[in-house]
Structure 1
């Protein structure tokens, strides 16, 4: 049996000083939720869903309740999940005003022959099956309203942090990756970033491992970052995994004028990496039955 591991992130970006403590608390709670699933014999797939759901319900993160608005003042969300055992994935993009977007992505993976559904048709598919909490009241926060008003008034704001995600390795040795996001503050309506894109926003493979990315979606998409990171650390010594992953993240960031870029990954042997090129990235890790550790990397 394999020692189960889960790693979560709360987004690469800039975290306001008054939110830094809650960012660490939130990621620790998410890792603990996923760990509980793993210790009960649950799958990596179920563990990453449980972890991401905690982050979607936490208004401090840019996903679910707490997501940012697009230029029309509308909440448009993306999410995805992938598992290693059969390389199945599911994703949704551009879904309006939904709190638990990761559940829609899992529905696509498990109940269709497709990988990605978008917009109103993705929402209709989920509603017909009784999945998802929809409505502006499910996702609106005073933080989102204030940030939208500030940008509309011409003030430049850092997008506090972009995307939440999780990767897990279960006792059977299977891996999964998941991510959920509200996207970029004041984005053009219909804009989709890396999060729901297999290979860029996430990847899970039985020999390579699992990876979930965060940061500027256009940069991550261009470099197919999740798959590239797993390829870069494949077969190297365990102590080389983090330096190699960090080097790749810095390369991508530098090619995009210092854009925020980050990722978490797990190899099949349980080696983990948590790296970013940004002001901050909150994260947490739980291995076996040990208490989750968490932090805010700078």
Structure 2
């Protein structure tokens, strides 16, 4: 099944950060809110870069802003599983040493991307799951939160609709992510999500999987994905897009080509943001919307 592929390229620069708020079909009247939410996150990430912070610091900060925004499906406001619980996934990667950290099926914590960053810095393991992820978080000094504080009325309504057999919608804007390049040439990517509405307990999608939802390599670029997680895993979409940039494609063309491949090979929809080693950015989606924003030394842009 083929889908209409929309893509965009930006000039970028030495210091550039791009965020996405998830591929889906946000209602027209709510689209400006989602674009504005992405722009707030992009500005925060770009400020980190402007103040001399690393690309890794910048993507973590930008995603953290999106996790705190109940408009999006990450952290506060994340979607609920079949039991009405919040299980969060996140990953982060830097492109110089190929260091990465991730958590999945994490319950009871509000900042999964920060915990993933702690896993990256700890360095012993890349991915922590479920109770083990929660234990790791506590050991690293993160404080648990009451799960009810993460649940919004929109999330409850979306779960009720899904369990009544109504078509799924991108009620919360979807997975969030960020990619960046700093003045030293370091690239980084980060992705965070609540997953699918009414997902089975323990289901893990692409967002915490290095190579599927997140990938960064200074020799080529960085990518964060959103959309059908099972398809992203099966095609290793994030790594595949980075490899296209390594082979000479620009960020925009790499993003467009991998989303087209997802559609043609598996009949699935999704979106990608990418940044290449020169700081040029690109994005592509095969869904009705994917809120996004980019910011850097050169200025800022946003859209849906």
- By the TM > 0.5 criterion, same fold? yes
Describe the superposition over 1:186-211 as per-residue Cα deviations: whole angstroms up to 9, x where unpaired: 01100001011111111111201111
Q: How does 1:15-54 map to 2 (within 5 A)?
A: 15-54=26-65
Residue of 249, 252, 264 corresponding to 1:254: 264
Structure 2 unaligned spans of 5+: 1-12
In 2 relative to 1, CA 131–268 (structure 1 residues): closer, same or farther, beyond 3 Å? Answer: same
Do residues 190 (structure 1) and 198 (structure 2) align? no
Describe the superposition over 1:196-235 as per-residue Cα deviations: whole angstroms up to 9, x where unpaired: 1111111111201111111000000010101111111225
Partner of 2:223 in structure 1? 211
Distance in 1, Cα, partners of 2:258 & 2:56:
26
Q: How does 1:1-12 map to 2 (within 5 A)?
A: 3-12=14-23
User: More relative contact order in 1 or in 2 (CA 8 Å, sep 6+)?
Assistant: 2
Do residues 141 (structure 1) and 149 (structure 2) align? no
SS at match of 1:254: helix
SS at match of 2:125: coil
Worse overlay, 36-45 or 268-277: 268-277
Give TM-score, length-normalised by structure 1.
0.93
> Cα offset for 1:85?
1.6
SS at match of 2:91: strand
Residue of 282, 285, 290 corresponding to 2:294: 285
Describe the superposition over 1:24-75 as per-residue Cα deviations: whole angstroms up to 9, x where unpaired: 0000000000000000000001000110011001111000111000011111
> Cα offset for 1:17?
2.5
Partner of 1:81 in structure 2? 92
Structure 1 unaligned spans of 5+: none
Partner of 1:65 in structure 2? 76
Q: RMSD in angstroms over aligned alpha carbons?
A: 1.5
Conserved? CA contact 1:10–1:61, under 8 Å:
yes
